[in-house]
Every structure is written in C-alpha cells, then in structure tokens.
Amino acid sequence: MYKIKAEELIADLDLIAKRADASAPTTTATGVALQNLILLENRKEFAFEGHYLFDLTRNKLAFMKYRTAGLTIAIPNNSLKTALPIQLAEMNANSNMEQNESYK
C-alpha cells in the first residue's frame, strides 16, 4: 500500500511540474531526494503566499533568515522560535494553558 501511495504522489508531482513546464523530466527520486522535490514544487506553486516557513518547520529543516545590511541568522532545525507565541488574550482566557516553551 505504501508503494502504491508513493507512486501516486510521484505521479501527482509530475503532473504539477509538467503543467508548468512540459519538458520537465519524469520524477524517479525516492526518500529525501523526493521530499526535497516536493518542497521545491510547493515553494514554486505557493510563491509569495507565506507557506514556505511552515513547510520548513513541519519537516524540521534548518534555514537561514536574511536581515537588512547583509545580516543573517541561522535557524536550526530544532529551534523553538518557529512556533509562534500564544496570544495573551488566549492565555488569560484559559488558566490551564501553557505558553510555548521559547516564549516563557
């Protein structure tokens, strides 16, 4: 079943890639290489929609944050700063709620 599901995902990935570029090669990648291709297609498909940070966080991937004046900040794959703080109004509404660890 897993193999069939994986083949369907590859077929879907090829469909999306070939819709934009008919000469795109057929995907033969597996494992991490396939995951990277999926992330790349997501990044192209949803450019400027703000999904990329969530894709990186969900897949536990490190990334570089670019600041003004050429400054960069390396965000490791296990950074707790990628989880946003819970809003104060929500914290006040429920005394059992605990703030995300990196914002305590």
**Smallest Cα–Cα separation from 20: which of 53, 46, 48, 50?**
46
How many domains, the chain?
Answer: 1
- H runs (alpha helix) in the chain: 2-20, 31-45, 52-58, 88-93
| 46 within some domain | yes
Query: Is the residue at 91 inside a domain?
Result: no
Residue 41 pLDDT exceeds 80:
yes
In a domain, 86, yes or no: no
Q: Read off the pLDDT of each residue in 82-89 and give the average, rounded to a whole number.
A: 88
Mean pLDDT to the nearest integer, 68-86: 88
Closest by Cα among 56, 48, 51 to 79: 56
Residue 45's domain spans which residues? 2-61
104 in any annotated domain: no
Residue 33 has pLDDT above 80, yes or no: yes
Reference 87, options 72, 97, 77, 79; nearest CA is 97
Assess if residue 51 is contained within a domain.
Answer: yes
pLDDT of residue 71: 93
**pLDDT greater than 80 at residue 90:** yes
Tell if the pTM clears 0.75, that is, is over it.
no
Residue 85 lies in a domain: no
- Which parts of the chain are beta strand (E)? 63-66, 72-75
Q: The tokens of 45 are what? A: 């498909």
Query: Residue 25, SS3?
Result: coil
Residue 16: the pLDDT is 84
Asked whether residue 22 is domain-assigned, the answer is yes
42-74 pLDDT tens trace: 898 888 998 888 889 888 899 998 988 989 999
- Establish if 16 belongs to a structural domain: yes
